[in-house]
Amino acid sequence: MGASDLAKLPHIGEALRRKEDYRFLTGAGQYTDDIQLQNQKYAVFVRSPHAHAAIKSIDTSKAEGMPGVARVFTGKDVEGKMGGLPCGWLITSTDGTPMKEPPHPILAQGKVRYVGDHVAMVVADTPVQAKDAAEAVEVDYDVLPAVVDVRDAKKGTALHDAAPGNHCYTWAIGDKAPVDEAFAKAAHVTTLDLTNNRLVPNAMEPRAAIGAYNRANDEYTLYVANQNPHVERLLMTAFVLGLPEHKVRVIAPDVGGGFGSKIYLYAEDVALTWAAKQLNCAIKWTCERSEAFLSDAHGRDHVSRAEMAMDKDGKFLALRVHTDANLGAYLSTFSTAIPTILYATLLAGQYTTPLIHVEVDAWFTNTAPVDAYRGAGRPEATYLLERLVTRCAWEMGLSQDEIRKRNFVTQFPYQTPVALQYDTGDYHACMDKAKSLAEVDGFEARRKASEAKGLKRGLGYSSYIEACGLAPSNIAGALGARAGLFECGEIRVHPTGSVTVFTGSHSHGQGHETTFAQVVAARLGIPVENVDVVHGDTGRVPFGMGTYGSRSISVGGAAIMKALDKIEAKAKKIAAHLMEASDADIEFSGGEFKVKGTDKKIPFGQVALTAYVPHNYPLDKLEPGLNETAFYDPTNFTFPAGTHIAEVEVDPATGVVRLDRFTAVDDFGTIINPLIVEGQVHGGLAQGIGQALLENCVYDKESGQLLTGSFMDYAMPRADDLPAFKLGAVSTPCTHNPLGTKGCGEAGAIGSPPAVINAVLDALKDVGVKDLDMPASPPRVWQAIQQATR
Ligand code: MCN
């Protein structure tokens, strides 16, 4: 079934409330920390208080003698018994050498490289006993100089022997010579230096895991707050522990948000699983919030120079970008892909810029590892490009919307000069709708009203594009992924006609139990209540690549569609047998099988029952049962796009920015559930606006201590920081997946930061403020005003 036929079915496009919310709202959700196993002990990790230090000695004797303590494990216990954490994406430097891949030990081996690095694991009967004992572990450190700022990485003391100068790789895309030539001939060049600030993901549920071991069958089970349990199992068994995969089951039960930070295989997960066998018990660890600040993978942290060459009319001729990316102390699972494949390939944006060259240098520093955070590379690309485009507009004497419109891609498919091919889009329609919803025509009157109150008002645009549906394995493989990112779906039709769907996608707030059920119910013509969705368990779901990169509906949903095709084909054969017709004469719609050109028909439920209770069944031609599995590997990414418009009021006396209005018009292709999509956009906007105005992860330059290690210092966006959003939709369905969907899970976080900063800069244009880094906090804005007016 094609996307256009699907879109016409009942349930598709229906704003159903989330099925899963009943259990969440009534406190019946089951998160990892809610699970209590027999013979369960508790772990606490001893973490480095130093950003960089040699470990001279570790004395665990006092801790091991304390009440309830089962064992204290250190680096010596795991050395030689397991590998380090792997990085899933290989980057080759422009000189042909592979990236530097220093070891990432499960417990520190001789050295610690960031505050929070895991040094020892204490296991005890109760959490309090484990915590007390952790405090009694004595570690003698020889403190070394730390480097935290990516701009200083080269000059800093090397973190790893394998990475001299703290350099991991230089990677580039695009043809440099023609780009330089275009710059030499351009009528105007706009240059912008910018920093994309480091963020801490802060999911509502902190990371948690329970490693369990069953001696009877030599099997391990890991319960873990994770976004992709099969990949977690694959990496842990194949790369770290060397265990056969069938002996390890990974269950990611209800997970309270991840935003990228729970995609990865973390050292704690491995240590707990391995130690469970050593102690023949279950071991639970629940991360504390302050521990999460230190040890969760962080996001962003880029420093870039961007230049645009234009002709006299503001038409983009060439884009040149250099970025220094902070990878933190070690390579996390996908960290190398973020500033390269997921960032540089998006720098064409919505524009026809014919020549682009991007070079990225990636560095190690004494900070927590940096990896994907909602958007992963694409917010960084959009922030750079959309800030640059607005700066271009102002330097060329054009309005922010006019310069964008002059450069929009209008013909599809469109091949960018940075590898990607966009299948569909209508960027003018998104812009026009956004301007209308944002009531841009009335802006001048609102600006004057603000001026009369001594306030500055500004309008900021951002026309973003992102590549979602990660990732076609032919493209991903060519670009360095160690595995293709397909998805798996299984449809199990029960004899009574109800259905269980097993998906390799993982829902940790995205509402898959509802939207995936909508797709299945629509296709089979059965009530949504008759469909249950199972995810997050390697013991129940055949395989999966998990959830990130807004891939679930477009890749996981497409796998389900493929399995449904198989179900429909087999069910038609059963129906043909029951109605004594030929297979070719059977039609299926609205939950009924009909013989073409007759009034003979039977319902889906009868076919399901017959599949399991065969009656005069032609066993030579037809197997009993109605259960099908499919794997779907996309042929391309999906390309959601849109225009976001922010309107702010700035108090020049205090530097306080008030976000007055925010409009987002997005194109997500076919929409399965508009209510869920709206919720996804709201959440993304809150995070993007949080980055633009409030959130900032700061390490002390000298000591490498995390200065923003709690919610007292790290400002999360709250409801009263945000206006009521105005949302609009444009739909150009994706051409290559059977649902026509494009991902919606990250768009808000991608489009919004540059819109907000452009608005602040627009407000302060006449004061002389030309530049501002995120977050536009009151002191930063106030200082920029003082500097401009001095
Ligand atoms: N959907 C739809 N129609 C579309 C597109 C999506 O109805 N055209 C629905 C989907 O069926 C799904 C939801 O919207 O129920 C999100 O779908 P999709 O865009 O495919 O994204 P994923 O499900 O793959 O979710 C991943 C994405 C990412 S990458 C991050 S980060 C993120 C996000 O989702 N983290 C989240 N949203 C989050 N929401 C919550 N509550 N918590 C997180 O950790």
Res 481 pLDDT > 90: no
Placement of tokens 């004992």 in the chain: 133
Res 694 pLDDT > 90: yes
Hey, which of 231, 518, 550 would you mutate to test ligand 1's pocket, going by the most ligand atoms within 8 Å of its Cβ? 550
Q: What angle do CA 295, 106, 217 make, to 5 degrees?
A: 115
- Ranges of H-type helices in 85-196: 127-136, 176-185
Nearest-atom number in ligand 1 for the CA of 257 is: 44
How many beta carbons lie within 10 A of that of residue 162, not counting itself? 12
Res 673 pLDDT > 90: yes
Q: Is the CB of 509 under 6 A from ligand 1?
A: yes
pLDDT in tens, 409-425: 999 999 999 999 999 99
pLDDT value of position 790: 82
And the tokens for 442? 């009335």
Mean pLDDT of 669-675: 98
pLDDT in tens, 535-548: 999 999 999 999 99
- The full 3-state SS of 22-42, as one line of letters, equals HHHHCCCCCEHHHCCCCCEEE
Mean pLDDT of 757-762: 98
pLDDT value of position 619: 74
Q: Which of the four pLDDT bands, split at 50, 70 and 90, describes residue 517?
A: very high
35 CA distance to ligand 1 centroid (A)? 26
Q: Is the CB of 334 under 6 A from ligand 1?
A: no
Q: What is the share, in percent, of the chain residues with pLDDT greater than 70? A: 100
pLDDT in tens, 340-382: 999 999 999 999 999 999 999 999 999 999 999 999 999 999 9
Res 477 pLDDT > 80: no
User: Residue 34 in contact with residue 94, Cβ under 8 Å?
Assistant: no
And the tokens for 25? 């709202």
Q: What are phi and psi of 53, to 5 degrees?
A: -165, 150
pLDDT in tens, 80-134: 999 999 998 889 999 999 999 999 999 999 999 999 999 999 999 999 999 999 9
Res 483 pLDDT > 80: no
| Strand, helix or coil for residue 55 | strand
How many beta carbons lie within 10 A of that of residue 442, not counting itself? 9
User: Residue 237 in contact with residue 243, Cβ under 8 Å?
Assistant: yes
Mean pLDDT of 61-70: 98
* CATH, domain range 3-29+487-632: 3.30.365.10
Q: Is the CB of 533 under 6 A from ligand 1?
A: no
User: Residue 120 in contact with residue 43, Cβ under 8 Å?
Assistant: no
pLDDT in tens, 266-298: 999 999 999 999 999 999 999 999 999 999 999
Residue-wise burial string across 545-561, b where 16 or more C-beta atoms lie within 10 A, e elsewhere = bbbbbbbbbbbbbbbbb
pLDDT value of position 485: 86
Q: Which of the four pLDDT bands, split at 50, 70 and 90, describes residue 573?
A: very high
Give CA 205 to chain center in angstroms: 16
591 CA distance to ligand 1 centroid (A)? 28
β-pairing verdict for 40-47 and 282-286: parallel
Mean pLDDT of 624-653: 97
Q: Which of the four pLDDT bands, split at 50, 70 and 90, describes residue 474?
A: confident
Q: What fold, for 32-144+206-255+262-295?
A: Aldehyde Oxidoreductase; domain 3 (3.90.1170)
Q: Which of the four pLDDT bands, split at 50, 70 and 90, describes residue 597?
A: very high
Instruction: Give me the chain's average pLDDT, please.
Output: 96
Least confident of 359-363, 470-474, 675-679: 470-474
Q: Is the CB of 374 under 6 A from ligand 1?
A: yes
Hey, which of 9, 553, 685 would you mutate to test ligand 1's pocket, going by the most ligand atoms within 8 Å of its Cβ? 553
Domain ranges in the chain are: 3-29+487-632, 32-144+206-255+262-295, 377-469+639-789
Hey, which of 20, 207, 501, 510 would you mutate to test ligand 1's pocket, going by the most ligand atoms within 8 Å of its Cβ? 510
Res 1 pLDDT > 80: no
Q: What fold, for 377-469+639-789?
A: Aldehyde Oxidoreductase; domain 4 (3.30.365)
Q: Is the CB of 680 under 6 A from ligand 1?
A: yes
First-to-last alpha carbon distance for the chain, in angstroms, is 66
pLDDT value of position 680: 98
User: Residue 325 in contact with residue 302, Cβ under 8 Å?
Assistant: yes
- The full 3-state SS of 305-373, as one line of letters, equals EEEEEECCCCCEEEEEEEEEEECCCCCCCCCCCCCCHHHHCCCCCCECCCEEEEEEEEECCCCCCECCC
Tell me how far apart the alpha carbons of residues 492 and 494 are, in angstroms, rounded to a whole number.
Answer: 6
Res 427 pLDDT > 90: yes
Nearest-atom number in ligand 1 for the CA of 677 is: 14
Give CA 783 to chain center in angstroms: 34
Res 618 pLDDT > 90: no
Mean pLDDT of 144-164: 97
Q: Which of the four pLDDT bands, split at 50, 70 and 90, describes residue 256?
A: very high
Tally of CA atoms within 13 A in the half-sphere of 632 that contains its CB? 33
Q: Do domains 3-29+487-632 and 377-469+639-789 have the same CATH topology?
A: yes
Q: Is the CB of 253 under 6 A from ligand 1?
A: no
Res 19 pLDDT > 80: yes
